[in-house]
Structure 1
Amino acid sequence: MSASVALADYAREHAQVHAVRTTVFVEGQGVPAGLERDALDPLSTHVLARDSDGTPVGTARLTPERRIGRMAVLESHRGRGIGEAMLAALVAHARAEGWPEVGLHAQLHALPFYARAGFVPCGPVFTEAGILHRHMVRRLPGASPVEDVDAAAAVVVALAGHARRGLGIYSRALDPGLLDRRDVVDALRRFATRPGRCQVRVLLQDAGSPQREDAPLLALAQRLPSVFEFRQTSDPVDDRYPSAYVFNDTGGALFRPLGQRFEGEGGIEAGHVARRLAHAFDPVWERSRPCTELRALG
Structure 2
Amino acid sequence: MNTLPQFQVEVVEFAAAVAQLHAVRERVFVQEQQVPVELERDAIDPLCRHVLVRDAHGQPIGTGRLTPDHRIGRMAVVREWRGKGIGEAMLRTLVDEARRMGWHELGLHAQVSAIGFYARHGFLPQGPRFNEAGIEHQTMRSLVDAANPVENRDAACAAMLGLIAGCRRVLRIYSRELDPGLLDTPEVMTALRRFATGDGEVRVLLHDPAAPQRALAPMLGLAQRLPSAFAFRAIEEPVDREYAPAYAVNDAGGYYFRTLGHRFDGETRLDAAPRVRQLCAAFDPVWERARPCSEFRALGI
In the alignment, does 2:61 pair up with 1:54?
no
- Once the 2 structures are TM-superposed, how far is the Cα of residue 2 of structure 1 from its aligned partner? 4.1
Structure 2 residue 166 is the aligned partner of structure 1 residue 162: yes
Larger mean Cα displacement after TM superposition, 178-187 or 19-28? 19-28
Deviations 1:47-66 (A, max 9, x none): 11223332212111112322
Matches of residues 92-107 of structure 1 in structure 2 within 5 Å? 92-107=96-111
1:121 maps to which residue? 125
Q: 2:75 matched to 1:66?
A: no
Distance in 1 separating the partners of 2:105 and 2:250: 21
Matched residue of 1:180: which SS? coil
Native 8 Å contact 1:140 1:269 kept in 2: no
Measured after TM superposition, the shift of residue 31 of structure 1 is 2.1
State the Cα RMSD in Å. Answer: 2.0
1:204 is displaced (CA, Å) by 0.4
User: For residue 30 of structure 2, what is the aligned residue in structure 1?
Assistant: 26
Structure 1 match to 2:251: 249
Q: In structure 1, the residue corresponding to 2:19 is in which secondary structure?
A: helix
Counterpart position of 1:83? 87
Alpha-carbon contact 1:120-1:267 (below 8 Å) kept: no
Distance, in Å, in 2 between the alignment partners of 1:79 and 1:164 is: 20
Aligned to 1:224: 226
**1:124 match: secondary structure:** coil
Q: How does 1:285-296 map to 2 (within 5 A)?
A: 285-296=287-298
Give me the whole-angstrom Cα distance separating, in 2, the residues matched to 1:2 and 1:186. 29
Shift of 1:281: 1.8
What's the CA shift for 1:128? 2.6
Alignment partners' CA distance in 1, 2:275 and 2:182: 20
**Residues of 1 paired with 2:76 and 2:41: CA distance?**
13
Paired position in structure 2 for 1:8: 12
Summarize deviations over 1:87-128 as a string: whole Å, max 9, x none: 121112222333223221111121001111221112232333
Q: Select between 142-151 and 98-107 the one with higher mean Cα deviation.
A: 98-107
Q: Which residue of 2 aligns with 1:206?
A: 208
Instruction: Please say which of residues 204-213 and 124-133 is displaced more in the overlay.
Output: 124-133
2:214 and 2:240 map into 1 onto residues whose CA distance is 22
Quick check: 1:138–1:267 contact (8 Å CA) kept in 2?
no
Q: Among residues 133, 139, 147, which one is paired with 2:137 in the alignment?
A: 133
User: Counterpart amino acid of 1:276?
Assistant: Q
Match of 1:215 among 207, 214, 217: 217
Determine helix, strand or coil for the equivalent of 1:281: helix
Q: Is the CA contact 1:57–1:74 (under 8 Å) kept in the aligned structure 2?
A: yes
Percent identity of equivalent pairs:
57
SS at match of 1:123: coil
- Tell me if structure 2 keeps the 8 A contact 1:122–1:146: no
Q: Secondary structure at the match of 2:147?
A: strand
Q: For 1:277 and 1:149, locate their aligned partners in 2 and report how far apart those are by CA, in whole Å.
A: 22
Match of 2:44 in 1: 40
Structure 2 distance, partners of 1:112, 1:26, is 23
5+ residue gaps, structure 2, are none
Moved more, 186-195 or 161-170: 186-195
Q: 1 CA distance for matches of 2:133 and 2:238? A: 54
